[in-house]
Amino acid sequence: MSFFAENKWVLLVYGLIVLLVYLNRHRFEVQNKIVMMYKTKMGLGLMGRIGVRHGELVKFIAYCGIGIGFAGMVFIFYMLIKNLISLLLIPDAQSAVGLIVPGLALPGSPIKIPLISGWIALFLVILVHEFSHGVVARAHNLAVKSSGIFFLGPLMGAFVEPEEKRLRASPDTVQYSVYAAGPFSNILLALLMILILSYVMVPIVSALTVPVGVTLVGVSDKYPAQVAGLASGTLITQLNGKNITRYDEFESGLACVKPGDAVSIVANETPYTIVAAEDPKKPGKGYLGVLASSIATRELKTKNAFTNLVYPVILWTVELFYILVILSLGIGLANLLPLGPVDGGRMAQTALERTKGKEPGAAWWKKLTIITFFILIINIFWPLIKWLGGLLGLLV
């Protein structure tokens, strides 16, 4: 099935979003000809009340975020380099970096996030991120001129607009704390969701249900599982003749599989026999090209009117919190990249200008931004690059 056929209804939704933004373009401020910004004063009062009334506590937490911000910057840059080396040196390697657009199964990305819960989670992550910037700015007595949303095509984001000149004239620690506030709050949000899932939602689900299998949350393009017909959402209940009810059973069952081995799977009550390929990152190890949820799929112990009504709500809440973890960590770390106008880029700019002088530091920052940008682009669009390379090879 083609990308357009598989995602036609979601693409229609995104097309309607673009149309609505275009029809209301007079309400937006256009920047760089492609970014549509809608500025408001919404939330500024609440940012001020929290930032001013609890200024010392906010500053303390924000200062803690500076160290996390720089550590996250080093980590995410290292992971990009590591992934790039794998892509260049290992044949058929799958990129571990990719765009995630709610509702769309993007080529090269094994993860597909549901449209509705994905957008709700994305909105919450962005809201926490930008609100934190504003609160920390107000705690340092910096004015926030506006807040709002922006659209880059159908993709939505949010922003707060602090008084830039005063921020750039502030001490380094103030600048770092304001820039790091968004990513740090995303990391804290992800940790909070993990705690709630582990100690609240999972016990509730366990008390109401029994495990019945493992659900796939993604399959890799052109690998045995996809070729056999498996897709995201498939429920695995048997592996090589053994019943599978938990993720660790599924993982251990695949641990000894070697390239060329025939793996028997019962998925959605249908038997499959799949011949394993070689793991692109671990030569000699079998690989089906599947990504399974670490949370077992479960069924109700007792079905009645109450449980039939409540359980779907609980499951949707678990899904939402799980997506919040993924998006919050992903967006938080992505914003720590030493890249142009994102938070990590602003932190790197301030640090380089302080250590090397304003003009030499700015020159180093531009070079770092360009390097990071090209590394990121290759990581994200590697599947497309490989496809174009193959096409050119055929044409030649």
Q: Mean of the pLDDT values across residues 112-125? A: 90
> How does 289-306 read in b/e, with b if 16+ C-beta sit within 10 Å?
bbebbebbbbeeeeeeee
Q: In the chain, list all ranges with CATH 2.30.42.10.
A: 224-288
Distance CA 45, CA 76 (A): 34
The first and second tokens of residue 155, run together, are 């993709």
Whether the per-residue pLDDT at 249 is higher than 80: the answer is yes
Whether the per-residue pLDDT at 41 is higher than 60: the answer is yes
The answer to whether residues 246 and 211 touch, using CB atoms and an 8 Å cutoff, is: yes
CATH numeric code, 224-288: 2.30.42.10
Q: What's the mean pLDDT when you consider all of the chain?
A: 87
Local structure of 298: helix, strand or coil? strand
Tens digit of pLDDT for each residue in 96-114?
777 778 887 665 565 678 8
More confident residue, 22 or 271: 271
Tens digit of pLDDT for each residue in 157-189?
888 888 889 999 999 999 999 999 999 999 999
Tens digit of pLDDT for each residue in 335-364?
999 998 899 999 999 999 999 999 999 999
Whether the per-residue pLDDT at 387 is higher than 60: the answer is no
Crossing angle of helices 115-139/44-53, nearest 10°? 50
- 395: exposed, middle or buried (Cβ count in 10 Å: 0-12, 13-18, 19+): exposed
Whether the per-residue pLDDT at 82 is higher than 60: the answer is yes
Whether the per-residue pLDDT at 388 is higher than 70: the answer is no
pLDDT at 396: 42
Q: Which of 67-76, 200-209, 337-346 has the highest mean pLDDT?
A: 67-76
pLDDT at 390: 56
Whether the per-residue pLDDT at 4 is higher than 70: the answer is no
**If you ran DSSP here, which 8-state letter would residue 33 be given?**
T
> How does 112-126 read in b/e, with b if 16+ C-beta sit within 10 Å?
bbbbebbbbbbebbb
Q: Is the pTM of the predicted complex or chain greater than 0.75?
A: yes
pLDDT at 93: 67
| C-alpha closest to that of 369 among 335, 334, 339, 333 | 339
Q: Mean of the pLDDT values across residues 323-336? A: 93
- Confidence band of 218 (pLDDT split at 50, 70, 90): confident
Q: How many residues does the chain have?
A: 396
